[in-house]
Structure 1
């Protein structure tokens, strides 16, 4: 692949001959030699994917597959959808090969890796289950008529769900973290769908092909910490480190610069900046340089004047953002860690929603009312940026590493800024990996 094109390219009408890699492969049907064509590209939501097309000239066998080409998320995801009306059946979804599908009301479950990943709808999931059960029914009726009769009854129940004769629950539990269910009222919070992120265990990591260095080589990873007094704080803060990485947008090799700096009246942070020479993307990410605080923090600021838009903001990667007046909630990892201003944070939200690769997840198949809702929401953000409307910006960070600048230099409280420290719940500590650690100032509840 040439140096001036991204590793994962967008498919478009102008790209008449997309670059593909051809590999000679054994045919699983006849044992002869065939060809596999590999195309690395990007599609909405799935982001980076690898399209694989195999053909055998000897026996005519063909096979097409799609697999994720992006980095496996750090956490697994469990999505619970309450199907409360017929419109919920039309919700589009993405599920990977590693997704376990469950309908609790029927005590029905499809194990992971029993179906290939697909882009479909809630109705499509049920329809595929029905077709799978119907496939061997003629043979069952001859050999096991009682079993076939029970399956016919279960198929009838599934058809009732497909026609929405009663509400039910659909659960997607995906250890790869690559599943998704459409939010028809996005960017507002979906009242019928919840996402629960959790850490994988060792067996689940191995199932995804994730192994530690010790498991692969038999050698433990050795860290060489900086000895006390070896370097002064000024030397550490003045040093810019550089290390190779891959572009978060196109996957091409690039470099990231990292530097420690100090935020006045707060703490030291690490700023990481990545510039990709291939696709031109520039990213900035901020991480705390002081670890996890003993308590979480919730910060609320009333954005009322132009002065409020200029407040410095540090949003850590574990911080959830909300604007109650717009019914907006942004998950902790959506915007990553950022050191910016209130205005910059709102602009980042707008840019992410306006990005054609993420704003309209299913392209032309997206419902018109959803597109209209996005346009209306973007205009509301413009009104906030122009100080035509007053909103409250809320940062909720269980790690306690987020910050919003006070407009007062004295010890008097800022009347438009409210800061609340709180004890983390057991679930929050579990998500942060703290329940097995004893840290100063931490008490398990």
Structure 2
């Protein structure tokens, strides 16, 4: 009842508060609830808070004084991301086993070497480590072993062998592959080398299937109804019109409106710009989608930043574009930061914000002095580029060919910028979903 009361008395922007040990108002709500171990009454404590990257979360902790049983869970209270995410980690040492993991309810965990899988919605969300996830699995299997041994000795023996293998993985004695696949896009695996690229960790963003949308409770009926109410408009009319549709603020979840408009970028192509402005909390965001198809070849744009005026160049970074700064040994994969239409200065500030200021593994108990110092040095180098004190190259690598960097000498060639077209690799086509597309010789009877 206290949670409902809190929701009614606070506005939407203050329900989820930043984690702060000095915030006296940030106290957990306590609810008397039934203990499922001894069936006596215990206490559940709920804390509504914000964690960078993981957005809003609900932390629940149950404890029973009668039997001393306790349980802790976290649930995401933020919005579902536009794309799913898959983390593939090659575990080679004890340090890899100690990597921190944010795992939501919808995430599937797999270890191919053991043909092992924890399906979605079978475990509650957790902020843990790979070792903690394995330990949780081991404990769950060992609890039922006495019953299995009484019913079927051979099955219990096989489970014992499997538990032994899991313990070997937990100790870091065996190399294995850890896969975390979350269609909601809200799970994370730590990169201890940040801001540098981690060769052992592959991050893939993908478009959800209809089945995954159903699992997440997402439907497109609202958009379909909106489209039925609107008469068909020609392309010329859409270019001059700002379309608006209703959504929720990604920060405070209050009702907000998203504006969408077709824009023609000079010397490039047509794009769709979407902007959301929340009147409740003041949060503002913008996103860019390509208005055209995937290009036949990928594009790599390299700019030598030699003057502060270069920071004012317009940048269109599509959701499939990666960002590389060789001087900083920094590489940002496709899908990160989403699509953006901004300036070079704005893009660099977004990179610093993503890697340094809002990195969940550099905050609170998750942080270490070495990691924090390393990322602070990276932030200072970004500031050096922004202040014109450090020369650097910026590379936009877009396999879809839908990214753009302003040529201030247009229509003449820019002496500080090179644009390369290249053939995509099989892996890049796989990430874009092109390998499964059949566009030639298609026979409807094959269906």
Same fold (TM over 0.5): yes
**Match of residue 445 from structure 2:** none
- Where is the helix percentage greater, Structure 1 or Structure 2? 2
Q: What CA deviation, in whole Å up to 9, does each residue of 1:230-252 have, x standing for no partner?
A: x568xx44x44444332222322
**What is aligned with 2:78?**
70
| Shift, 1:328, TM fit | 1.4
In structure 2, the CA distance between the partners of 1:275 and 1:192, relative to structure 1 (3 Å rule), is: same
User: Could you tell me how far 1:379 is from its partner in structure 2?
Assistant: 1.5
CA apart distance, 1:154: 3.1
In structure 1, the residue matched to 2:214 is 206
Residues 13-44 of structure 1, C-alpha deviations (whole Å, 9 max, x = no match) = 4543459999999999999x999987643223
Once residues 226 and 340 of structure 2 are traced to their aligned partners in structure 1, the CA distance between those partners, rounded to angstroms, is 33
For residue 13 of structure 2, give the secondary structure of its aligned residue in structure 1. Answer: coil
Quote the residue 2:3 is aligned against.
none
Bigger mean CA deviation after superposition, 258-267 or 76-85? 258-267
CA deviation map 1:275-294 (0-9, x unaligned): 33333333233333445444
**Structure 1 residue corresponding to 2:303, chosen from 294, 298, 301:** 301
1:391-402 correspondence runs (5 A): 391-402=392-403
SS of alignment partner, residue 5 of structure 1 = helix
The 5 A counterparts of 1:254-333 are 254-333=256-335
**TM superposition shift of 1:157:** 2.9
How far residue 350 of structure 1 moved from its aligned partner, in angstroms, is 1.7
TM-score between the two structures when normalised by the length of structure 1 = 0.80
Alignment size in residue pairs: 430
Which residue of structure 2 lines up, in the alignment, with residue 353 of structure 1?
355
1:311–1:206: structure 2 CA closer, same or farther, 3 Å change rule? closer
Cα distance between partner residues in 2 of 1:139 and 1:419 = 66
Q: Which runs of 4+ in 1 moved over 6 A?
A: 19-31, 33-38, 53-56, 61-64
Tell me the alpha carbon deviations over residues 207-260 of structure 1, each in whole angstroms, 9 at most, x when there is no partner: 22234429x99x89648575448x568xx44x4444433222232223334444
Structure 2 match to 1:421? 421
1:94 is aligned, of 93, 102, 106, to: 102
- 1:212–1:117 distance in 2 versus 1, CA, 3 Å: same
Q: Which SS does the other structure have where 1:114 is aligned?
A: coil
Q: Deviations over 1:383-423 (max 9, x none)?
A: 22233333221112233221112242454x32321112344
List alignment gaps of at least 5 residues for structure 1: 440-445
Rounded to whole Å, the distance in 1 between the matches of 2:430 and 2:125 is 29
RMSD of aligned Cα (Å): 4.0
Give, in angstroms, the shift of residue 93 of structure 1: 0.5
So what's the TM-score if we normalise by structure 2?
0.80
- 1:62 and 1:86 map into 2 onto residues whose CA distance is 28
